[in-house]
Amino acid sequence: MSESTDTAWGVVNDIQRMCVNDGPGFRSTVFLKGCLLDCRWCHNPEGKRRFPEVIPYVSNCKVCGECLPACPTGALSTNGGGLPKISRALCSDCMQCAAACRHEALVVWGRVMSADDVLSEVMKDKAFYKTSGGGLTVSGGEPMAQPAFVAALMRGAKADPDPNERIHTALDTCGHAAWADYERVLDFVDLVLLDIKHMDPSAHKAYTGRDNTLILDNARKMAARGMKMRLRVPVIPKVNDTEANFTATARFAAELGEAVTGLDLLPYHPYAGGKYRAFGMEYEFPAGEGYDDEMLTPIINLFLDYVPEVTVGG
């Protein structure tokens, strides 16, 4: 299959450099737009919808009102405090309100970029990848919402004729995509970071919108294919933080066998609350310090009986 990278386009939210929690070493993490689940604790809500959109950034709003006349459909209105809010049902994504705002209080999220553009940005840090064993991580949202683009990025990372110049690649995925799509991508992926959000199918559906059948199935196929995998287990209060769920997760990890090189516990973190507030949204999870070591130690010990290595935070 020879898809040339210069025809591959995708919608990108962010390219974040010097990431240390998205795989080994220093990495550039490319956050793609669009998701295939709908998790209640999502910490990148700007990644849920697939295409470029305007999201309010209320912290910057000066309540000047200049955006309101720019909206042709009435989707844009203000709340009691004069801060902007957008009705998705009415919004036609024309972006006129963002153009009218002089204070960065209405921001366009999602930029259309070519794979080449993304890769040339990523390659700037090659010196750091080499010394630290780092590389490219593709994340989101859910990157597999744009499988052709992911394939182009991963292929591009490996395209250099000199093997020393190819960079390490990681795919940060929830696992809920068609296996055929994974097959297009995995040839160029060194490490899969796979979320296991809940082992109980109906709980999974209640919290993320889908059950976990496809996810667990894909996981087994990845393992059978010989992929290196790290399981990423979010620890969310009152959602999945029970011994029963962790034990089931650990057993599943053991089932995947040697493919699993380690497991990262990702405790709910309080930074997301700030993001929701900035967007003028409600975050149902409390602000606060998250989990402390005392609470995490028994969970770590539980998993260590089933996987070779456990980290907190990745």
Partner 1 sequence: MAQAAKIQESIEDLEKKQEWWWIAEKKRSKRLDYLRKAVWKKGAIGGNYAPGVKVDLEIPVLFTQMYNWWKFDPPMLRRAKANAHILDNMTIFITDHAQLVGYVGTTPNTLLWRIDGASMVNEELYNEPGVMPEPEQASLKKVADLNAAWAGQTAVDKVARILDPEDAVKFLSGAIGWGAPTSAYGYSGKDYEFLFAQRNGFLDIIEKIDEAIEKAEDRTMGAPGPDILPLYERLQNWDAMKMILEASIRYANRYARLARIIAENYETDPTRKEELIRLAETCEHVPAHAPRSLQESLQYDHFVQVLARIEALEGAWPARPDYYHWPMYHKDVNVEKNITREEALDLVGEFMIRAYEVGGFGPRWAREGLQGITGTWVWTLGGVNKDGTDACNDLTVAFLQAARMVRVANPTFAFRWHPKVADDVMREVFECIRHGLGYPSIRNDPVLIQNAMHWHGHPLEEARTWVHQACMSPCPTTKHGVQPMRMASATANCAKMVEYALHNGYDFVVQMQMGPKTGDAAKFKDFEEFFAAWVKQMEWLTNTLVRTVNLGRYKDPEFFGRPFLSATYERAVESGLDAVSPVGERGNCWITGFTWVENADSLAAVKKLVFDDKKYTMAELLDALRTNWEGREDMRLDFVKAPKWGNDDDYVDDIMLRCLREVARHSREIQCPCGNTWPLLPENVSGNIHYSSIVGALPNGRRLGDALYDGGISPGPGLDKKGPTAVLKSCGKIDHVGDGRAFLLNQRLSPTQLAGEKGYQLWKAYIKTWADLGLDHVQFNMVSDETLRAAQRDPEKYQEVIVRVAGYSAHFVDISRKTQDNIIQRTIQGI
Q: Which residues bind partner 1 (CB under 8 A)?
A: 13-14, 16-22, 25-26, 29, 31, 43-44, 46-47, 57, 59-60, 102-104, 107, 124-125, 127-128, 130-134, 139, 172, 193, 232, 264, 266, 269-272, 274-275, 277-279, 287, 289, 293, 297, 300-301, 304-305, 308, 310-311, 313-314
Smallest gap, in angstroms, from Cβ of residue 1 to partner 1? 29
Smallest gap, in angstroms, from Cβ of residue 3 to partner 1? 27
* CA gap 112, 15 in Å, rounded: 13
Smallest gap, in angstroms, from Cβ of residue 108 to partner 1? 11
Cβ–Cβ < 8 Å for 17, 125 = yes
Of 104 and 160, the one with the shorter C-beta distance to partner 1 is 104
CA distances in angstroms from 298 to 33, 292, 303, listed in the order given = 36, 11, 9
Smallest gap, in angstroms, from Cβ of residue 74 to partner 1? 26
The three-state secondary structure class of 246 is helix
Smallest gap, in angstroms, from Cβ of residue 20 to partner 1? 5
* CA gap 37, 155 in Å, rounded: 26
Residue type present at position 305:
D
Q: DSSP labels for 114-154?
A: EHHHHHHHHHTTHHHHHHHT-EEEEESS-GGGSHHHHHHHH
Of 141 and 156, the one with the shorter C-beta distance to partner 1 is 141
Of 284 and 294, the one with the shorter C-beta distance to partner 1 is 294
Strands 84-86, 168-173: pairing is: unpaired
Phi/psi zone of residue 94: left (φ > 0), alpha (ψ -120 to 50 degrees), beta?
Answer: alpha
Of 92 and 246, the one with the shorter C-beta distance to partner 1 is 246
Of 42 and 115, the one with the shorter C-beta distance to partner 1 is 42
